[in-house]
């Protein structure tokens, strides 16, 4: 059947193409002939209009536009004529008409008679001056028997000359008719004719095609039956017989094929029985194999899932889903081997979050975990593929950003072109954490310190490279945090010294190396000491007095500030009690409170210290910075009220450097504001600085708070603050911080009254 239809289809396709081609050719010929005839008919009509007689000659000679426009209107009755123009013998336009009455020919329109002589009728195709269509422009001269060079001929004389010239047979050109035929519209008028011709030709072709296919079918019918039989045999259908009409070769072939089919049919029946039995056995075995294969697939899937879970637990951090220390170490070792072989550089960026412990202590470990996840996500988004990062042993693991534990993260930059590229990435990492994070309803900004080590110039092993990057990170912390540092050999000694200082600091409290110094706060109206600030000092057995600016940040990082702060509070209260027992009346002692101390446990600590030292609560003043009380203003209000209930006085230290809200300041139960020393030092730098100090003082007074200026070191500052109404001053102008023994002598002598009188007189 396939072979029969292929032959028949081939014949049919050939005939279709033949008849379609013939139909198209005939249609094209007839349409083109009609198109040519239409153009010739238009041309004949134009010539007939131009040469209708003396009326045209009169009108052109005398430029009678009314007569000429009537003539042109007759031409424009043909819709295919787009415009018609009459020129005089010199080519000057006399009048024109267009199909659209509102449309005018352009002023620079010029007759084009480049082809033929002045006596010929010319025709050219050109772009229409009225539209974008193409027009066939026909130019026909108007002849006259009157000589056009005679001027001022009357109509009567013109007519007489026409009569005389007619007898003489002279010919002169009076002017030209120019007609533009729109070829597009001319073709559109033939669409209906084309459709009729095409339909007639197509109908004749279809009739001829049908008759031809019927004839082909009668000729190929026996072949079709034979092809059908062959297809049935190929499909295994042996019960059919070959049938054909007539006699001769086709009948003999049919008889032989039917005999062969009979034998094949009996053989097929026997084979079908045997095949059925075999298929039953195969189906049984296939079902067994399918069940076992399904069980095996389930087992493999379970093993794969277990392997993936074990790998996830072994190589990835459960909190952030970042690579952990194990995967980081294995992959970095592989990268170092590759870099040595390819002689390329690797940069290791070691990140540690600044003051992260404060987040855990103040908001809890759940908030800390949320913050770590957000930090991990931001770092991962920040590191681009173009920075690239790792070659992995399994093609999937990446250590571009890893979490080694706690608040420590690493970034590895592979195949580094130059060291400054690592600095660019570090700046991008710093920038990514500048946007505040919303953690458990709190807006938090966490900053990192980043240390950068380059392999192989800084180290060749994972252990050494980590150590160098860690050293550089600690150097970044000591230089102000929220920045990055490249490792240098000079940092090694600093790192060793820092480690020793950390070890000494852990044992400093136990060895009683910490001591308190006291700096007086002087009332400049009475000259009396109105209080003292307790300042901790570390008397190191080898290095002597260590600056608080050096060991306080270190204690905060190590988590020792709470222990040191508790010792400072207890020792300040004991010493104040001792001063009073010696008969030295110290109105109050001020103790600084670290941000890491200020929590619920701190209130209980103050209670216990006051009970243990038996110090009157009003003699204890607690100094907190703006940042501490404003970090969580609502909880701070409650905590400060509880401290106030104990009888303690409360002071805001370093006021003006934070972001206090006046609405919250009015709600805090404060007693005192201490103007930061930076404002005191810079008061004379500009009018704005002095105005700012004045505004702070005015605000404090409006809130009925005691104002204290700290960091006053010279007489000019004294006079400025006295003029602004400050009563209490603390600074080197009166005394530097003193040990308790020397401060006791200062309390007994009260030497400031005379000093203040002398300064006022100067």
Greatest mean pLDDT among 103-112, 234-243, 436-445, 721-730 lies in 721-730
Average pLDDT (673-677) is 85
pLDDT of residue 388: 41
In this predicted structure, the answer to whether residue 456 has a pLDDT above a threshold of 60 is yes
In which band, very low, low, confident or very high, does the pLDDT at 393 lie, cut at 50, 70 and 90?
A: very low
In which band, very low, low, confident or very high, does the pLDDT at 614 lie, cut at 50, 70 and 90?
A: very high
Average pLDDT (410-426) is 87
pLDDT of residue 395: 40
- When mean pLDDT is compared across 30-44, 124-138, 242-256, the lowest value belongs to 242-256
3-state secondary structure 156-193: HHHHHHHHHHHHHCCCEEEEEEEEEEEHHHHHHCCHHH
**Tokens at 328, concatenated:** 């980081």
| β-pairing verdict for 529-540 and 93-98 | unpaired
CB neighbour list of residue 74: distance below 8 Å, 6 or more residues apart? 49
CATH architecture of 316-488: 2-Layer Sandwich (3.30)
Please report where in the chains the tokens 């086709």 appear, as a residue.
250
What is the helix (H) or strand (E) element at residue 537, kind and residue range?
strand 529-540
In this predicted structure, the answer to whether residue 620 has a pLDDT above a threshold of 90 is yes
Average pLDDT (165-189) is 73
Fold of 51-189: Beta-Lactamase (3.30.450)
Average pLDDT (182-207) is 81
Average pLDDT (122-140) is 80
Helix (H, G, I), strand (E, B) or coil at 123: strand
| β-pairing verdict for 172-182 and 134-144 | antiparallel
CB neighbour list of residue 195: distance below 8 Å, 6 or more residues apart? none
Average pLDDT of every residue of the chain:
80
Kindly list the domain boundaries of the chain, sorted by start residue: 51-189, 316-488, 506-761
Contact criterion met (CB below 8 Å) for 468 and 340: no
pLDDT of residue 577: 94
pLDDT of residue 729: 93
Average pLDDT (736-752) is 90
In this predicted structure, the answer to whether residue 391 has a pLDDT above a threshold of 50 is no
Greatest mean pLDDT among 120-134, 170-184, 234-248, 591-605 lies in 591-605
In which band, very low, low, confident or very high, does the pLDDT at 587 lie, cut at 50, 70 and 90?
A: very high
Query: Number of C-alpha atoms within 13 angstroms, CB side, residue 661?
Result: 10
Distance of CA 516 to the CA centre of its chain: 56
Contact criterion met (CB below 8 Å) for 630 and 661: yes
Greatest mean pLDDT among 262-271, 509-518, 710-719 lies in 710-719
Fold of 506-761: TIM Barrel (3.20.20)
- When mean pLDDT is compared across 31-40, 52-61, 311-320, the lowest value belongs to 52-61
pLDDT of residue 58: 75
In this predicted structure, the answer to whether residue 145 has a pLDDT above a threshold of 90 is no
CB neighbour list of residue 535: distance below 8 Å, 6 or more residues apart? 516, 517, 518, 519, 548, 592, 737
Average pLDDT (531-558) is 83
In which band, very low, low, confident or very high, does the pLDDT at 196 lie, cut at 50, 70 and 90?
A: confident
In this predicted structure, the answer to whether residue 254 has a pLDDT above a threshold of 70 is no
pLDDT of residue 615: 94
In which band, very low, low, confident or very high, does the pLDDT at 619 lie, cut at 50, 70 and 90?
A: very high
Contact criterion met (CB below 8 Å) for 456 and 489: no
Contact criterion met (CB below 8 Å) for 565 and 593: yes
Helix (H, G, I), strand (E, B) or coil at 540: strand
- When mean pLDDT is compared across 71-85, 459-473, 482-496, 605-619, the lowest value belongs to 482-496
Beta-strand (E) ranges in 81-152? 81-88, 93-98, 122-127, 134-144
In this predicted structure, the answer to whether residue 606 has a pLDDT above a threshold of 90 is yes
In this predicted structure, the answer to whether residue 242 has a pLDDT above a threshold of 60 is no
In this predicted structure, the answer to whether residue 29 has a pLDDT above a threshold of 50 is yes
**Is the pTM above the cut of 0.85?**
no
**Tokens at 282, concatenated:** 């195969």
134 by Cβ neighbours in 10 Å (0-12 / 13-18 / 19+) ranks as: middle
Helix (H, G, I), strand (E, B) or coil at 181: strand
- When mean pLDDT is compared across 38-47, 151-160, 362-371, 548-557, the lowest value belongs to 151-160
More confident residue, 739 or 151: 739
In this predicted structure, the answer to whether residue 356 has a pLDDT above a threshold of 90 is no
In which band, very low, low, confident or very high, does the pLDDT at 575 lie, cut at 50, 70 and 90?
A: very high
pLDDT tens, residue by residue, 6-15? 666 777 788 7
pLDDT tens, residue by residue, 70-125? 878 778 878 888 888 888 777 788 888 887 777 777 766 655 555 545 667 777 87
Contact criterion met (CB below 8 Å) for 535 and 731: no
pLDDT tens, residue by residue, 152-174? 777 777 776 666 655 455 477 87
More confident residue, 724 or 143: 724
CB neighbour list of residue 93: distance below 8 Å, 6 or more residues apart? 85, 86, 87, 105, 109
Contact criterion met (CB below 8 Å) for 326 and 399: no
Greatest mean pLDDT among 212-226, 357-371, 586-600 lies in 586-600
**Tokens at 518, concatenated:** 């006291």
Phi, psi at 174, each rounded to 5°: -90, -35
More confident residue, 251 or 25: 25
- When mean pLDDT is compared across 285-299, 303-317, 334-348, the lowest value belongs to 303-317
CA 268-269-272 angle, 5° bins = 85
């Amino acid at each position: 059947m396939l072979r029969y239809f292929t032959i028949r289809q081939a014949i049919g396709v050939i005939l279709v193409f033949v008849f379609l081609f013939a139909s198209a050719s005939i249609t094209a010929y007839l349409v083109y002939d009609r198109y040519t005839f239409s153009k010739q008919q238009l041309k004949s009509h134009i010539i007939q209009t131009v040469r209708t007689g003396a009326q045209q000659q009169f009108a052109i000679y005398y430029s009678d536009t009314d007569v000429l426009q009537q003539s042109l209107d007759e031409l424009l009755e043909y819709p295919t004529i787009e415009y018609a123009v009459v020129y005089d013998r010199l080519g000057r336009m006399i009048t024109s008409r267009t199909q659209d009455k509102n449309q005018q020919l352009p002023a620079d329109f010029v007759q084009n008679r480049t082809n033929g002589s002045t006596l010929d009728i010319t025709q050219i195709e050109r772009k229409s001056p009225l539209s974008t269509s193409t027009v066939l422009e026909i130019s026909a001269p108007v002849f006259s028997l009157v000589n056009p060079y005679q001027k001022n001929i009357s109509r009567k004389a013109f007519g007489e000359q026409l009569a005389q010239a007619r007898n003489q047979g002279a010919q002169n050109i009076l002017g030209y008719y120019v007609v533009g035929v729109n070829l597009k519209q001319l073709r559109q008028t033939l669409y209906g004719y084309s459709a009729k011709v095409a339909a007639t030709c197509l109908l004749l072709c279809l009739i001829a095609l049908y008759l031809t296919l019927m004839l082909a079918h009668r000729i190929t019918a026996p072949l079709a039956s034979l092809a059908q039989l062959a297809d049935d045999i190929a499909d295994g259908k042996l019960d059919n017989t070959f049938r054909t009409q007539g006699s001769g070769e086709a009948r003999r072939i049919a008889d032989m094929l039917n005999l062969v089919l009979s034998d094949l049919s009996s053989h097929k029946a026997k084979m079908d029985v045997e095949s059925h039995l075999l298929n039953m056995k195969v189906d049984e075995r296939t079902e067994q194999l399918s069940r076992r294969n399904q069980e095996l697939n389930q087992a493999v899937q379970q093993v794969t899932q277990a392997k993936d879970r074990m790998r996830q637990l072994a190589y990835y951090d459960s909190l952030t889903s970042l690579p952990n220390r194990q995967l980081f170490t294995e992959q970095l070792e592989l990268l170092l081997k590759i870099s040595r072989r390819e002689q390329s550089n690797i940069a290791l960026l070691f990140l540690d979050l600044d003051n992260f412990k404060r987040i855990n202590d103040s908001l809890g470990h759940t908030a800390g975990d949320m913050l770590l996840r957000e930090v991990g996500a931001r770092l991962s988004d920040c590191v681009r593929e173009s920075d690239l990062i790792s070659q992995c042993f399994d093609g999937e693991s990446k250590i571009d950003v890893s979490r080694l534990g706690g608040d420590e993260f690493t970034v590895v930059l592979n195949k580094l072109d130059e060291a400054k590229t690592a600095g660019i990435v570090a700046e991008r990492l710093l920038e990514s954490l500048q946007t505040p994070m919303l953690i458990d309803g709190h807006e938090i900004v966490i900053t990192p310190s980043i240390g950068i080590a380059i392999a192989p110039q800084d180290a060749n092993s994972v252990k050494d490279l980590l150590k160098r990057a860690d050293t550089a990170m600690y150097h970044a912390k000591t230089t102000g945090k929220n920045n990055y540092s490249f490792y240098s050999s000079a940092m090694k000694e600093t790192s060793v010294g820092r480690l020793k200082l950390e070890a000494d600091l852990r044992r400093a409290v136990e060895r009683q190396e910490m001591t308190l110094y006291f700096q007086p706060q002087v009332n400049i109206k009475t000259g009396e000491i109105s209080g003292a600030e307790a300042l901790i000092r570390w008397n190191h057995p080898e290095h002597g007095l260590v600056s608080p600016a050096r060991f306080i940040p270190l204690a905060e990082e190590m988590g020792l500030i709470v222990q040191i702060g508790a010792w400072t509070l207890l020792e300040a209260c004991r010493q104040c009690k001792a001063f009073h027992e010696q008969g030295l009346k110290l109105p109050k002692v001020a103790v600084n409170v670290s941000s890491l101390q200020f929590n619920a446990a701190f209130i209980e600590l103050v209670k216990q210290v006051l009970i243990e030292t038996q110090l009157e609560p009003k003699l204890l003043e607690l100094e907190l910075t703006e940042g501490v009380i404003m970090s969580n203003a609502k909880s701070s209000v409650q905590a400060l009220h509880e401290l106030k209930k104990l009888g303690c006085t409360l002071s805001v230290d370093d006021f003006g450097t934070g972001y206090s809200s006046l609405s919250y300041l009015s709600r805090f139960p404060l007693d005192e504001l201490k103007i930061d020393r930076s404002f005191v030092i810079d008061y004379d730098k500009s009018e704005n600085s002095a105005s700012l100090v004045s505004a702070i003082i005015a605000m404090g007074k409006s809130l009925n708070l005691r104002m204290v200026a700290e960091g006053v070191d010279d007489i000019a500052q004294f006079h400025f603050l006295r003029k602004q109404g400050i009563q209490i001053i603390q600074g080197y102008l009166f005394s530097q911080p003193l040990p308790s023994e020397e401060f006791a002598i200062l309390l007994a002598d009260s030497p400031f009254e005379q000093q203040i009188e002398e300064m006022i007189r100067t």
